[in-house]
Structure 1
């Protein structure tokens, strides 16, 4: 399996594949290249019988994934923005469908697209410093990668509506976050 990509580090120890989104200077923000790299790795992992589980995390201590790369998105035409949203939806859907369980190891920020990435995982573990939310709504942007569908399924329509309409960021000790996380641990 090709283990090197431009933006996602791949390590395998025994049957566990560790994917680390490696853009710490922009808090591991998602862009087209990250989605391309994740999709390529998921395609390979899905058929790799030596992989029994996948863990996704972000490089550095500040952020799991702090959302989509807003600076890059600001340059998109409307058609490019739509294609970016569709790419993210396709990658997260593919991740949900691989035979191996996918675990999000959330340290620091999991905001916007990062929160949506975590929601698409089978299991979500958050450190005490984990912060989750969909603050892009404060910029007039809706969660474009399926988060508006996944969040209500996890925490209920009322709680999800509050987070999706206010853009509030919650830490891992709050009830909303605890409902999103499978476990909060160091």
Structure 2
């Protein structure tokens, strides 16, 4: 279900259930969480197999849940794992992202879409809503107005509208090229930049940590900095 390919600098994590548009069951969420937890590459590309990124929760499994709150918390935990891993995680959205698929993408550090991408939170139509952290992350990323309209309407947006909303940052033909280009950067810088931009503490604490991080990177790379100045 979850396939990984690791070349050292880039780990590709593929949700591989194309016959169900990569919809996730509880066991699949466990596999995805382990893949992210075990990642030691500086950059991770999260993608789907076949014509969809991820259709979210498998509705057959959802219909049989004895502990729906536990299932929601499981999805939240996986999203938190994606958000908090040291690796930079790029969501490569090619094809449909629905419900939990959107929420997993929201937990990633960077979201890029292909021209074929479509995104939606259709749960409202069947009496559900995005409970894998979507109500927290969506307004933080796109603003409250877009978040409310997107979630309450249940409509599907294409890649261009997702870009306009700020739901994705770029439209590209091949998301792996974006992930690879990031992996070519200094790995310690990637980790520290992610830490600083994800930091939710007060501004004074964040600014102090920013200065400390800059000093650490400077001391570690002073020779490279000097040589690049003369090039």
In 1: Cα distance, 2:37 partner to 2:55 partner: 24
Is 1:85 matched up with 2:72?
yes
Larger radius of gyration: 2
Partner Cα separation in structure 2 for residue 174 and residue 43 of structure 1: 32
Q: Which has the higher helix share?
A: 2
> Structure 2 CA distance, aligned partners of 1:147 and 1:55?
20
Could you tell me which of 33, 53, 59 is aligned with 1:70? 59
2:137 maps to 1:150: yes
Alpha-carbon separation, structure 2, partners of 1:181 and 1:57: 14
Q: What is the TM-score with the length of structure 1 in the denominator?
A: 0.89
In structure 2, the CA distance between the partners of 1:177 and 1:23, relative to structure 1 (3 Å rule), is farther
Once superposed, which parts of structure 1, at least 4 consecutive aligned residues long, lie more than 4 Å away? 175-178
Distance 1:128 1:164 in 2: 22
Distance between the aligned counterparts of 2:163 and 2:139, measured in 1? 11
Matches for 1:40-51 after TM superposition, within 5 Å: 40-45=34-39, 48=40, 51=41
Higher strand share: 1
- C-alpha separation in 1, matches of 2:77 and 2:42: 22
Q: Matched residue pairs, number?
A: 173
In structure 2, the partner of 1:168 is: 155
Gaps of 5+ in 1: 1-6
CA RMSD, 1 decimal:
1.2
Within a 5 Å distance, the mapping from 1:4-19 to structure 2 comes to 7-19=1-13
Aligned mates of 2:164, 2:131 — CA distance in 1: 20
The Cα shift of 1:178 comes to: 5.0
Note closer, same or farther for the CA distance 1:97–1:27 as it changes in structure 2 (3 Å cut). same
